[in-house]
Chains A and B, each alone.
Chain A
């Protein structure tokens, strides 16, 4: 009935140790928690070393250093050599732990922010603002679609405008703005409700995943 695989047993016992917290705090839970944190950190480090640093920096950089220069030109002309620049910028993050040099961490952060903004700004404005405005206005004014699509389009546009009015703080919420903001709160509540429902499903799915593992792989009660 029970699995004969030692790894399945270890995973099952650790799963039960984590679940034991639901009854009350205990040493089995603490052990499993610390083991998980330690193993996750170790595994993550190994994965980043093997999958990111070695193939993308160490191997090409070493190849540039050890290449026969006659065929490939001078070292400084080899693009693989210049991987040292992002590597050194990355190392500046460690300056955070050296008080006299801690300000240097601002350099990689600034470059990262600049790069991210430069790459994403135009595309994000297009995706999150222009397309969304087009969609909201388009759906509400698409008379040709008629029926429920038009009704939902108008409801959606009203929701967008009234929700935005709730976040308009340059004027006191009185008169028309107060009514609009109150309607906006209802739309926000519906949105939060949908998010909450999805969150419940997500968390329950994780529980189901572990219970399925226990009942299927460990005890073999279901197939």
Chain B
């Protein structure tokens, strides 16, 4: 009884300290908790995995900013690694002005890794043949609808000013009918826009990744088949990194995977806090009622 009373008056800074320890210790100790990719992560991975190499390109829209990097940037890296390792052509664009730099740096890092390992020109990742970077375009819904008519309306040229028709892989790409999968990685409602405008209006197959905070909003679309798959926050990113390594597409260090031990331990800690808080609430309430009855 006294224990719960004391617990209800505890300085919140002790809780912060416990959360900090629950993050730092697993990160340093590398507990190696087992990975179990979620259903919707697997669906998205398989959707990319089924696209034939050197055929029509996948579109990734990197619609996130630096504030969402820990969750969303590893998704982008894992997805782009998967595509380029399988020689699935890749178009990268962004509807977030700060996403352009992140996506461009990520692409450069991945293509540098691939080209450093490549034994021949066929194995390397060549700009214009295997991937293009379209850059940032303002207008969200209007950009999505323009791509549905003709991608050249939204992007007459890539991010470096090269006309799309000059890029070999873009010559046969006209609209969503030529794009087997649209992946949006976003921490805002932009993914919803892709489902509405690209998915419903132009029948594009839409998948993507979102921050954990907004993921719950997209489960109805997964259930109704309006999305092919979803990466949910850091867990989704970790799933994709795990699948990439398991299927031999990447040996790069798992950035999100490293954080998952800490996520699991912090979740356990918070669940413990919730149970303790509720037990304490009911115990102190009962004792207060008993006291009132005695008086």
- A: which residues have CB within 8 A of B? 22-23, 43-44, 47-48, 51-52, 56, 116, 119-120, 123-124, 126-128, 131-132, 134-135, 139, 156, 191, 194-195, 197-212, 215, 221-222
Contact = CB atoms under 8 A, between A and B. Distances in A.
Contacts of A208: 23, 27, 70, 234, 259, 262-263
Given A135-B225, A198-B212, A212-B70, A51 B136 contact: yes
Contact of A221 (B28, B232, B258): B28
A51 B27 contact: no
B224 A135 contact: yes
B264 to A, nearest CB: 10
B187 to A, nearest CB: 9
A222 B28 contact: yes
A171 B184 CA distance: 42
B10 interface: no
A215 B28 contact: yes
B267 A198 contact: no
Given A131-B224, A132-B220, A204 B263 contact: yes
Interface in B167-196: 195-196
A194 B213 CA distance: 10
Nearest to B219: A194
Interface in B61-112: 67, 69-71, 97-98, 100
Nearest to A139: B223
Contact of B224 (A48, A132, A197, A199): A132
B70 A199 contact: no
Nearest to B69: A209
A204 B225 contact: no
B267 A201 contact: yes
Nearest to B225: A135
Contacts of B69: 209
A199 B195 CA distance: 22
Given A23-B13, A132-B224, A205 B97 contact: no
Nearest to A201: B212
Interface string B212-248: 1101100011011110000011110000000000000
A211 B263 CA distance: 12
B233 A119 contact: no
27 contacts: A22-B16, A44-B97, A52-B138, A116-B141, A119-B142, A123-B196, A123-B201, A126-B201, A127-B200, A135-B224, A135-B225, A156-B223, A195-B216, A198-B215, A199-B212, A200-B267, A201-B234, A201-B267, A203-B213, A204-B266, A205-B71, A205-B233, A208-B70, A208-B263, A211-B24, A211-B262, A222-B30
A209 B70 contact: yes
A201 B5 CA distance: 29
Nearest to A203: B213
A165 B227 CA distance: 28
A114 to B, nearest CB: 13
Most buried by B among A126, A127, A128: A127
A52 B142 CA distance: 14
Contacts of A44: 97-98
B215 A205 contact: no
Contacts, number: 128
B191 to A, nearest CB: 12
A125 B225 CA distance: 16
Given A209-B259, A212-B70, A124 B24 contact: no
Contacts of B100: 51
A206 B259 CA distance: 10
Given A22-B13, A135-B223, A201 B235 contact: yes
B199 interface: yes
Given A44-B98, A120-B141, A207-B19, 5 more contacts: A44-B97, A120-B197, A128-B196, A209-B71, A211-B262
B216 A194 contact: yes
B28 A206 contact: no
B145 interface: yes
Nearest to A153: B223
A207 B27 CA distance: 12
B233 A202 contact: yes
Nearest to B232: A198
A204 B23 contact: yes
Contacts of B223: 135, 139, 156
A126 B258 CA distance: 40
Contacts of B13: 22-23
Contacts of A204: 19, 23, 262-263, 266-267
Interface string B5-32: 0000000010010011001100110100
A222 B234 contact: no
Nearest to B224: A135
Identify the 8 closest CB pairs spanning chains A and B, nearest first: A209-B70, A135-B224, A202-B212, A202-B213, A205-B234, A201-B212, A47-B97, A208-B259
